[in-house]
Structure 1
């Protein structure tokens, strides 16, 4: 249902549409998609009316109830795909499948990756298939919603851009897997899909809503954005470059972990198991467990505050027999405030540890943290807000800045709203690289520098070379701009029978001091395949070895741009773009 304000906003857009049809301006519809571990959301805006962002609230299977998010669940049934609210309690479904996109991350203990993979095999699917199917459902419903709001003629004839969010802690390979899945849906119909990291999107929305009251350009002040969601908690810090228009840059390298609010559900289940005993817990009906978890989420987890006004919390357990010793009475389990605190504490401590680390990193650069912006589903928790406020009030607050921790309105939808804003304007000017980036290469062998295990004979140039060496071009923490690219220079030799399609290896490392050659700390990001067949012969140098074998040599550069959540590549010779460069992340 739309509120009167929403109706007014849509009427304003309708008027703008009429103006555009007359003036011929090329305005766009920008759609933000927040694909989450437990819930997902979609928002949209129109560049002709950029201040108005609309969050989709009505979903298939929602029974006319409104919600800014839809469950990230999917079920493959004989009569088709069910998703989101269409998946009913007790229905066999696949959930938390987003985590399978980055198998290198340690999954939370409430998620069994083997069980998810078993479900995938049952339906003859891989995780990219499921992600693609779910995103297709989101896309179809989005187009239906836009058509109802704006009319089919306008939607069919207007450029629609999709901005997809992903965790900042993910590897480049996992981000690419998300992008590839999205490009297999209707999202890629009108334009190229863009990725943005979830904390950056949250920061964009939050900082925009703070203007102009709390934003000012200073030499040493920064904002820490804590995006606490269901599966992940991401942190990133920004400093203000200018306020009109708003422009910011990253202050230090972002951090994050798998420690979202879904961990609280797992700890609650463990608490119930301990209270009832294993035998009684496993004998409990699934309907009872689901009702209890829903009661915990809606009446305790989301509203819990560490205060003296409520010492006990009754949680529904329909069907359980009365048991005074275990606190069961009339289908309710009594849980004390101290017990709720014990459930929260390890997760809260992990968030505090991450915030502490980000503040310390900012201070090590000679800057001060002015505010902590708390966003996301878990970020809307009153208890988390108060714990952070109480911890940092004395440490960071000043007379001129007493409110250190800020919890903006609509914090649960901050990420998806920020994605829409990013599609309309560029606010973040520079970012900090989270890794060292480099390429594998060879160089002439020097016994004083290189290991014998890397030594090999080049039959074309007739020289001993050292392979598996690394040339680092981007240092961890380097300030990067989307408008600037990093050049990787290469020199390659060919004989006539050699392929002109080259395969180079982009690698990364998180260590403070990266190694000079391949070792266990180095990870392959992707294989870069460069097609040099279009490079004019005149640009090659020629040579001949002692065996009278002719060869050609070519100097070229690989240009890499680091975006919010993606890497872009192109190949240049003497500054001119030639051929194609494709990044293969499936290696």
Structure 2
């Protein structure tokens, strides 16, 4: 049986996107004061620039060990590609690899032996690519929690990993296994459907006034309605 997230000091969510990935961290004491209270790890790009999301890009060494993720992976690979002393074939670079899992999901072919292709078209085990990415995201979350709240015990954290609503049970199981391989305990993890997470958030927070002239906020009341539109990735 899953551990109740309400027993945990921290709830941390990973939005593992097709094009970009982000994380959000909710500290229980802050959540009880105001449900919108949360922090997001920042990802640095181009020196001093930072963003709450980073590209879903992974760079691995020749032996498939981790090198970098996100903006850093893009910058590292650009340096490798332009360095005459570097051999690009000694590296494995992955972009938009979540789409391969989606393609196999449509055909119900997802399995532990499924593969994704790197920049040279080489087939690499998808479970290794996904779990390595999630492991780094977990590290990023724990680093942020440690720096912000001085909490370093993973048992105090409950993780949420989002998945598209259209994914099959096999695909969700694949992501759960990848998270478990990344070091997230099965009873400290919940798979959340992306539109359901958005709906729950909107249902529990104070909505902004949608009027162009308004600067007010309003609470959802019985009979009120809202529409959630998932624009998806620009990589089709």
Map Cα deviations across residues 357-407 of structure 1 (whole Å, 9 max, x no partner).
xxxxxxxxxxxxxxxxxxxxxxxxxxxxxxxxxxxxxxxxxxxxxxxxxxx
| 1:98 aligns to 2:98 (yes or no) | yes
Q: Compared with structure 1, are the counterparts of its residues 226 and 80 closer, same or farther at alpha carbon in structure 2 (3 Å cutoff)?
A: closer
Report the aligned-residue RMSD: 3.0
C-alpha deviation, 1:145, in angstroms: 1.4
Q: Within 2, Cα distance between the matches of 1:204 and 1:33?
A: 16
| 1:58 aligns to 2:54 (yes or no) | no
**Paired position in structure 1 for 2:222:** 217
What is the TM-score normalised by the length of structure 1? 0.30
Aligned 8 A contact 2:19 2:55 in 1: yes
**Which of the residues 8, 28, 42 maps onto 1:47?**
28
**Which of the residues 197, 202, 217 maps onto 1:201?**
197
SS in 2 for 1:225: coil
SS in 1 for 2:218: coil
Q: Within 2, Cα distance between the matches of 1:158 and 1:105?
A: 35
Q: Compared with structure 1, are the counterparts of its residues 150 and 225 closer, same or farther at alpha carbon in structure 2 (3 Å cutoff)?
A: same
C-alpha deviation, 1:224, in angstroms: 2.4
C-alpha deviation, 1:80, in angstroms: 4.3
Map Cα deviations across residues 285-321 of structure 1 (whole Å, 9 max, x no partner).
xxxxxxxxxxxxxxxxxxxxxxxxxxxxxxxxxxxxx
C-alpha deviation, 1:116, in angstroms: 4.3
Q: Within 2, Cα distance between the matches of 1:157 and 1:56?
A: 17
**Paired position in structure 2 for 1:167:** 164
What is the TM-score normalised by the length of structure 2? 0.71
Map Cα deviations across residues 30-88 of structure 1 (whole Å, 9 max, x no partner).
101000001000110111210221011135x6634210101101111258422111122
Answer 1 or 2: which has greater strand percent. 1
**Paired position in structure 2 for 1:150:** 149
The 5 A counterparts of 1:166-565 are: 166-188=163-185, 191-207=187-203, 208-210=205-207, 213=218, 215-218=220-223, 222-230=225-233, 261-263=234-236
**Paired position in structure 2 for 1:32:** 13
C-alpha deviation, 1:120, in angstroms: 9.1
Q: Compared with structure 1, are the counterparts of its residues 26 and 198 closer, same or farther at alpha carbon in structure 2 (3 Å cutoff)?
A: closer
C-alpha deviation, 1:119, in angstroms: 5.7
Q: Compared with structure 1, are the counterparts of its residues 225 and 121 closer, same or farther at alpha carbon in structure 2 (3 Å cutoff)?
A: same
**Which of the residues 86, 90, 93 maps onto 2:72?**
86
Of structures 1 and 2, the one scoring higher in RCO (CA 8 A, sep 6+) is 2
Q: Which runs of 5+ in 1 are unaligned?
A: 1-24, 107-114, 231-260, 264-587
Aligned 8 A contact 2:43 2:53 in 1: no
C-alpha deviation, 1:178, in angstroms: 0.9
Aligned 8 A contact 1:62 1:86 in 2: no
Q: Within 1, Cα distance between the matches of 2:155 and 2:117?
A: 39
Query: How many residues in Structure 1 have an aligned counterpart in Structure 2?
Result: 194
